[in-house]
Amino acid sequence: MAKVKFDIPEFRPYPTIPILKPGVMKGNGPFVAKPDMQEALGFPGELIDDWHDVAIDKMGDLLKKYRSLRVFLDSCVKCGACTDKCHYMIGTNDPKNMPVARQDLFRQVYRRHFTLAGKLFPKLVGAKDLTRDVLDDWYNYFHQCSQCRRCSVFCPYGIDTAEISMAAREILDTVGKGQKYCNEIIAKVYKIGNNLGLPKPALANTLEGLEEDMKDETGIDIKMPLDVEGADILLITPSADFFAEPHIDGLIGYAKVFYQAGASWTISSYASEAANFGMFIGSYENMREVAERIRKAAIDLKVKRIVFGECGHAWRVGYSFLNTLVGPFDFLDTRYPVPQHICEYTYDLIQKGVVKLDKSANDHRRLTFHDSCNVARATRMGDKPGGQFDIPREIIKACCNYYYDMEPDTIKDQTYCCGGGGLLTDDLIELRVKGALPRMEALKQVVDDHGVTHMAAICAICKSQFSKVLPYYGFEMDTILSVHQLVSDAIVLTTEVKTPG
Amino acid sequence: MEFWTAFYAISFYVATFILVFGLGYKIYQYAVTPAPLKIPTTPAPVTTGGVVVRLLSEVILFKSLFRSNKWIWLFAIMFHLALWIVLVRHLRYFMDPVWTLVVLAQPFGKYGSFIMLFGLLGLLARRMFVKRICYISSPSDYLMLFLLLTIGISGVLISFVTRTDIIQFKAFMLSVLSFDFFSWQTMPTDTMLLIHLASVILLMIIFPFSKLLHVPGVFFSPTRNQVDNPREKRHVAPWAVKKFETSSAPTTSE
């Protein structure tokens, strides 16, 4: 693929008011899904002739199904609170990347067709017909939203642009204009069981290789079981954990924790994917069908618990939606939440003293933590609100001696998206690099102030995105780490296996 | 029967009808539209009581807006709080005898109107001069501010400058409220009063069709009003049950 030429944004030495550059990110958007991929998801292969009427009908249908959409479209007062909160806006300065302006691409059509004011006085209230230009703008700009929900934190009515962009993508899919990256991945999950299209033999081979690596490293037989019926714990992890760096070091970390806890666990080749791209395309049906695989694997393997690996949006679907989509999970051990996050699992074992960590093993690293957007703003860990911030930090601090948070307005629920999200494709590299700007600035500050060498994360997409964009900003690509990689390096393994934890 | 008296009395009935039923319909619509997924913006309260506190902190203190932008927050809270006090003060024209609380609110309401106007002017200035907000503004966004400013300025002028026969106006208002059809007390016809009332009536009429729907909307916003308990309690929309969990669907229903 030809290298795309674009300007890498410069670090802003002090907070500045963004200068609007209208149309700077106008374009054709990401690659469009091929007909067979569209059809695998139950959508038309290509843009249908009566797309306008079908789109309006679909909008009406979604308005009846989603209170969020209805309330959010009506409630915006154009106060401007969100206008400087989006990382893509900050990185590109295209005004259509202001959350409210992105919503308005949708809202203008809603007003025209579903409100009295928009039917009678379209110009007055900014209502517009769904023309081909508007549809193209939808495709382009609703694929410049990573659905990170940062705008929803700051909106006085909690309007979440993610909900609007999901609805827009659902409508685009319904008229036959889906995004290649997301839809191809979902099609692969249906066919093979994971986003990468990694079949069972390849997966088994990979896991065996990792077992050998761990044996070489530790001298201990640490297993990575696959499709073990009757295991206690089913590990659902993003397939990137099986092959990508630094994800794979996180997977090794999980295996060591399970080993040390003496836990009986397994990976499923049928549900070998935590990610659920049905969420990104706003399709309840597809999200449910992907999630159904997890339920089926849990039943087939007769497990008692489900634990999710490090993946941001997967944790959103796992924590917030799994019970809704394919619950109830009353056939599992009710003493444990369904599902559990691997960080909840590890943290608990650290508390109990089952997992012991040697902080000095990470003395060559000075760490910070990137809160992944979906974990931070759409989920929880543990019993208390905010556990999603505290638990990963507690794990990291238990693994190392040098930990420094980034600026308070760039972490926790104000965290900046990595710039990847469901847009983690090379055809959107310009957007990805520009969207990473605010995170890179915050990282630069802790690097300069505290000599931070590494940034840990608990999301497969964040890890892939940072590996790719860090070099554009002058950082090493291996600055990004998995949280469980730190655990892996610090964990004190004992050969004598403990009672199950 | 004076023309203006009949015109304003009837307009008042019509506007009230549209406001009550228009808003009632939107609230009904929000209430019956399901929220199929748990989407509170986290960290979110894990109890219903916590959600009440969260919503009140949004409705009364504009907490999210405060975190977002101190200037918008300042102007918005000035306008809204002053508006409430001004509204309470106005209750005296609609009741006899007048509640003590309303009597006590009189001086605050009278001078609060200046704070309200200042807030509105601040919001207008931002809309006109901050490029980002200017970009997202439609004509209706400016007109809404002009309408509110018209109400505020005409009200201030009546109170402090031009004056009107307020005793007579109250007699008119009470006769309208007691449905004395076509035997209403005569309404004073000072220009400022006519402007003040006409703009209030217009505001009541456009309320259910405009962005003023943020008033009921904030209470129905799923990102703010949902309890964070998806693992503990299964949350599923009726349409999803119907579509996926009937006898032919693979998932067992509750």
pLDDT < 50 stretches in chain B: 249, 251-254
Looking at the structure, do residues A126 and A45 belong to the same domain, yes or no? yes
Looking at the structure, do residues A164 and A254 belong to the same domain, yes or no? no
Whether omega for the bond prior to residue B43 falls within 30 degrees of 0, making it cis, is yes
Q: What is the pLDDT of residues A35-63, one digit of tens each?
A: 999 999 999 999 999 999 999 999 999 99
- Give the mutation candidate from B25, B28, B29, B37 for the A interface (greatest A CB count, under 10 A): B37
pLDDT of residue A12: 87
Band of residue A261 on the pLDDT scale cut at 50, 70, 90: very high
pLDDT at position A15 over 90? no
Region of A100 (left: φ > 0; alpha: ψ -120 to 50; beta: rest) is: alpha
Q: Do B35 and A388 touch (CB under 8 A)?
A: no
Q: Say which of A117, A154, A326 has its CB closest to residue B210.
A: A117
A340-341, strands of its sheet edge to edge: A265-267, A233-236, A305-308, A340-341
pLDDT at position A148 over 70? yes
Is position A287 within any domain? yes
- Locate all alpha helices (DSSP H) within chain B, ordered by sequence: 3-32, 48-61, 63-68, 70-90, 100-129, 131-135, 139-157, 166-177, 191-206, 214-220, 222-225, 238-244
Whole domain around residue A353: which residue ranges?
187-490
Is position A108 within any domain? yes
Q: What is the pTM of this model?
A: 0.95
The enclosing H or E element of B37 equals none
What's A102's domain CATH number? 1.10.1060
Closest-approach residue (CA) in chain B for A288: B244
Q: What is the mean pLDDT of residues A8-25?
A: 87
Closest-approach residue (CA) in chain A for B143: A124
Q: What is the mean pLDDT of residues A131-136?
A: 97
The span from the CA of B218 to the CA of B48, in Å, is 16
Is position A71 within any domain? yes
| In chain B, domain spans | 3-244
Question: Are the C-beta atoms of A147 and B240 separated by less than 8 Å?
Answer: no
- Give the mutation candidate from A24, A77, A108, A276 for the B interface (greatest B CB count, under 10 A): A77
Q: Do B222 and A326 touch (CB under 8 A)?
A: no
Looking at the structure, do residues A333 and A372 belong to the same domain, yes or no? yes
Looking at the structure, do residues A157 and A246 belong to the same domain, yes or no? no
pLDDT of residue A3: 58
Task: Residue A63: name the closest of A98, A97, A107, A104 by CA.
Answer: A107
Residues of B in contact with A98 (CB under 8 A): 132, 135-136
SS3 A307: strand
pLDDT of residue B171: 97
Q: Say which of B76, B211, B217 has its CB closest to residue A71.
A: B217
Q: Do B43 and A413 touch (CB under 8 A)?
A: yes
Looking at the structure, do residues A174 and A191 belong to the same domain, yes or no? no
Is position A27 within any domain? no
The span from the CA of B113 to the CA of B192, in Å, is 16
Q: Do B140 and A124 touch (CB under 8 A)?
A: yes
Q: What is the CATH number of domain B3-244?
A: 1.20.950.20
- Give the mutation candidate from A21, A72, A79 for the B interface (greatest B CB count, under 10 A): A79
**DSSP assignments along A20-87, one per residue:** P-TTTT-S--SPBPPHHHHHHTTS-SS--TTHHHHHHHHHHHHHHH-HHHHHHHHH-----TTTTT-H
Q: What is the pLDDT of residues B124-173, one digit of tens each?
A: 999 999 999 999 999 999 999 999 999 999 999 999 999 999 999 999 99
Looking at the structure, do residues A277 and A401 belong to the same domain, yes or no? yes
Q: How many CB atoms lie within 10 A of CB B1?
A: 10
Looking at the structure, do residues A364 and A254 belong to the same domain, yes or no? yes
Looking at the structure, do residues A477 and A334 belong to the same domain, yes or no? yes
Task: Residue A153: name the closest of A161, A145, A164 by CA.
Answer: A161
pLDDT at position A496 over 80? no
pLDDT of residue A13: 78
pLDDT of residue B254: 37
Determine the distance in angstroms separating the CA of A284 from the nearest CA of chain B, rounded to an integer: 9
Question: Are the C-beta atoms of A106 and A167 separated by less than 8 Å?
Answer: yes
Is position A300 within any domain? yes
Number of domains in chain A: 2
Residues of B in contact with A160 (CB under 8 A): 39, 41, 223
Band of residue A19 on the pLDDT scale cut at 50, 70, 90: confident
CB burial of A433-446 (b: ≥16 within 10 Å; e: otherwise) equals bbbbbbbbbbbbbb
Residues of B in contact with A413 (CB under 8 A): 41-43
Least confident of A16-30, A170-184, A235-249, A402-416: A16-30
Residues of A in contact with B213 (CB under 8 A): 74-75
- Cβ contacts from A onto B, under 8 A: 222
Mean pLDDT of all residues in chain A? 96
Looking at the structure, do residues A319 and A456 belong to the same domain, yes or no? yes
Question: Are the C-beta atoms of A310 and A369 separated by less than 8 Å?
Answer: no
Determine the distance in angstroms separating the CA of A465 from the nearest CA of chain B, rounded to an integer: 24
Share of chain A above pLDDT 90, in %: 94
Residues of A in contact with B136 (CB under 8 A): 78, 80, 83, 95, 98, 100-101, 104
pLDDT of residue A228: 98
pLDDT of residue A500: 52
The enclosing H or E element of A213 equals helix A200-218
The span from the CA of A227 to the CA of A283, in Å, is 29
Residues of B in contact with A324 (CB under 8 A): 36-38, 230, 234-236, 240
Looking at the structure, do residues A105 and A204 belong to the same domain, yes or no? no
The span from the CA of A326 to the CA of B234, in Å, is 10
pLDDT of residue A499: 53
* Cβ-based neighbours of A65, under 8 Å, separated by 6 or more: A284, B33, B34, B36, B237, B239
pLDDT of residue B253: 39
Q: Do B230 and A376 touch (CB under 8 A)?
A: no
Q: Residues A330, A332, A333, CA angle at the centre, nearest 5°? A: 110
Band of residue A18 on the pLDDT scale cut at 50, 70, 90: confident
Is position A335 within any domain? yes
The span from the CA of A35 to the CA of B12, in Å, is 58
Of A178, A195, A223, at which residue does a domain stop? Answer: A178
Closest-approach residue (CA) in chain A for B55: A157
- The one-letter amino acid at B61: L
SS3 A317: helix
Query: For A246, how many CA atoms within 13 A lie in the half-sphere containing its CB?
Result: 26
Residues of A in contact with B47 (CB under 8 A): none
Residues of A in contact with B34 (CB under 8 A): 65-67
Q: What is the mean pLDDT of residues A172-195?
A: 94
Question: Are the C-beta atoms of A454 and A367 separated by less than 8 Å?
Answer: yes
Q: Do A78 and B237 touch (CB under 8 A)?
A: no
pLDDT of residue A197: 85
Band of residue A121 on the pLDDT scale cut at 50, 70, 90: very high
pLDDT at position A242 over 80? yes
Looking at the structure, do residues A276 and A421 belong to the same domain, yes or no? yes
Q: Do A68 and B223 touch (CB under 8 A)?
A: yes
Is position A207 within any domain? yes
Looking at the structure, do residues A163 and A240 belong to the same domain, yes or no? no
Closest-approach residue (CA) in chain A for B58: A156
pLDDT at position A1 over 80? no
Residues of A in contact with B223 (CB under 8 A): 68, 149, 152, 158-160
Is position A4 within any domain? no
Q: What is the mean pLDDT of residues A481-493?
A: 98
Q: Do B234 and A85 touch (CB under 8 A)?
A: no
Q: Do A156 and B210 touch (CB under 8 A)?
A: no
Q: Do B211 and A75 touch (CB under 8 A)?
A: yes
pLDDT of residue A14: 76
